[in-house]
């Protein structure tokens, strides 16, 4: 069973076996991300991260704007762009998905046509941005 990683005071508390193998993904769900962590714009996605990298580069100060998880479903790979379905199911005129789903390898046109443009608060529920790869 996949478990969502829980962050408390900058520490990774609960991880699945997949997370330990480097299957964590971070999405900038804040209006911007950083606060002494890797900087990013809303919708930026990093993937294939180890728990150590997540703790030191994305959550070193706690409130950084980054959300991390082991995706329940991951479709595609690489860039240039990707989309994240957060805590609620996505769809409503766009591609349907369960929470904690990430779709990678998308173009601007695919996001406009199938993901409601990918801006936070759009009718489909998807948040999209550049796939920035992994961080070491």
Domains of the chain: which residue ranges?
Answer: 7-70, 74-130
Are residues 42 and 30 in contact, defined by beta-carbon separation less than 8 angstroms?
A: yes
Q: Please name the residue that has the structure tokens 């957060």.
A: 86
Q: pLDDT tens-digit profile of 85-134?
A: 999 999 999 999 999 999 999 999 999 999 999 999 999 999 999 999 99
> Tell me, what's the pLDDT at 22?
66
> 32-33 and 45-49: which strand pairing?
unpaired
Closest Cα partner for 20 from 46, 43, 53? 53
Q: pLDDT tens-digit profile of 54-95?
A: 999 998 777 999 999 999 999 998 999 999 999 999 999 999
**pTM: predicted TM-score of the whole model, two decimal places:** 0.85
> Tell me, what's the pLDDT at 49?
94
């Amino acid at each position: 069973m996949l478990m969502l990683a829980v962050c408390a005071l900058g520490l990774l508390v609960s991880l699945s076996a997949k997370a330990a193998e480097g299957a964590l993904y971070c999405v900038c769900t804040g209006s911007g991300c950083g606060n002494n962590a890797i900087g990013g714009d809303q919708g930026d996605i990093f993937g294939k991260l180890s728990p150590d990298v997540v703790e030191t580069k994305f959550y070193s100060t706690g409130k950084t704007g980054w959300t991390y998880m082991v995706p329940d479903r991951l479709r595609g790979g690489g860039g240039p762009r990707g989309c994240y379905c957060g805590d609620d199911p996505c769809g409503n005129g766009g591609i349907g998905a369960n929470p904690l789903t990430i779709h990678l390898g998308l173009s601007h046109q695919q996001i406009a046509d199938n993901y409601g443009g990918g801006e936070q608060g759009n009718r489909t529920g998807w948040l999209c941005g550049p796939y920035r790869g992994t961080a070491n």
